[in-house]
Structure 1
Amino acid sequence: MALDRLPTRVNLSNHGVDVPNIHSSVCSLYLEDVQHTFFGREVAASLWRMCRICLDIALPVFSSLFEFLSWFDDWRESEETNMKVYSIVAALLWIIWRFRNSLAFPGDGMKKPLLFDSIRNISFNWCISRGKCMISWNDWLVKPL
């Protein structure tokens, strides 16, 4: 993602793949590039908003991955808190990409109302499996940090 090599419609077109339409499959107003897919699209913006509320920290509005990474590099918290935030954002980006693919390639059937629950579930499992987060599932649901 940081190298802008995801197969978005714009990237595919830039690499010579015949893409009939390089606009977003969701809104058709914007070009489907990494920034729009993960930060500009309505679904993405809504999920970022929910994560801000869940985390209860001053998480800025980002328009690119580089903005998030720059903020995260400067943000100073405990190793466990950093791991939790990183896991939640990684899960957020993964779910946005999976949702985009479920629209582009019917069959996966991801349900929009369940996206945030998927983020919480995946991020909890990632955090726990790395052994750096000591928190119960119930506490994670109430307040992950």
Structure 2
Amino acid sequence: MGIDLHSVCCPICDEDVETPQHLFIDCIVASRLWSMVANWWRIDDYPKDLPNLITWGDTANLLQPLKACFDAVIQTRLWVIWRFKNRICFDAKPLRKDALVDEIKILSHLWINHRNRNFNPNWIEWTVDPKNAWNVVL
């Protein structure tokens, strides 16, 4: 596609070959983000393989409205890591790693809020306890 690759290693950590499994799950930055998302949602652990991770929202022990909300957070998290990787490869000044969790919270809140007019939680509540933010609206 005309793109000159200097390396096949993960541009985020430069520790392993960039594969979907590595980029989205095994990379140290990716695994830390999943742990932070799990902690944010007060869920014990996250799936360690891509197919189960993609369907994690469907299998999580949550009420149905929360499953859809949590699935949007998972999809947002995948998007954020993909954009972060591309920023490292193509932008002069990529986003800082410590800002990624905030970006997940902001984008997932915006996407959920715009897809469901009945969901308009308090922003502070969403960033602290998204399960409770949803319950306030129900």
Instruction: Calculate the TM-score normalised by the size of structure 2.
Output: 0.80
Where does residue 15 of structure 2 map in the other structure?
A: 29
> Identity of paired residues, percent?
26
Where does residue 58 of structure 1 map in the other structure?
A: 44
Tell which deviates more after alignment, 69-78 or 36-45: 69-78
Secondary structure at the counterpart of residue 16 of structure 2: coil
> How many angstroms does 1:95 deviate by?
0.9
Where does residue 93 of structure 1 map in the other structure?
A: 78
Higher helix fraction: Structure 1 or Structure 2?
A: 2
Q: Which residue of 23, 28, 42 maps to 1:42?
A: 28
Summarize the Cα distance change of 1:39–1:90 in structure 2 as closer, same or farther, 3 Å threshold: same
**Is 1:77 aligned with 2:62?**
yes
Secondary structure at the counterpart of residue 130 of structure 2: coil
Q: What are the Cα deviations for residues 49-86 of structure 1, in whole angstroms up to 9, with x where unaligned?
A: 1101100023434231x012344333453332012211
Summarize the Cα distance change of 1:98–1:17 in structure 2 as closer, same or farther, 3 Å threshold: closer
> How many angstroms does 1:18 deviate by?
6.6
Summarize the Cα distance change of 1:18–1:107 in structure 2 as closer, same or farther, 3 Å threshold: closer
Summarize the Cα distance change of 1:136–1:25 in structure 2 as closer, same or farther, 3 Å threshold: same
User: What is the identity, as a one-letter code, of the residue corresponding to 2:105?
Assistant: R
Q: Which residue of 88, 96, 119 maps to 1:111?
A: 96
Instruction: Calculate the TM-score normalised by the size of structure 1.
Output: 0.77
> How many angstroms does 1:48 deviate by?
0.5
Aligned pairs, number: 130
Where does residue 110 of structure 2 map in the other structure?
A: 125
> How many angstroms does 1:45 deviate by?
0.7
Summarize the Cα distance change of 1:70–1:92 in structure 2 as closer, same or farther, 3 Å threshold: closer
How far apart, in 2, do the equivalents of 1:22 and 1:47 lie?
22
Contact between 1:80 and 1:133, CA under 8 Å: does it hold in 2?
no
> How many angstroms does 1:44 deviate by?
0.6
Give the unaligned 5+ runs of structure 1: 1-11
> How many angstroms does 1:17 deviate by?
7.3
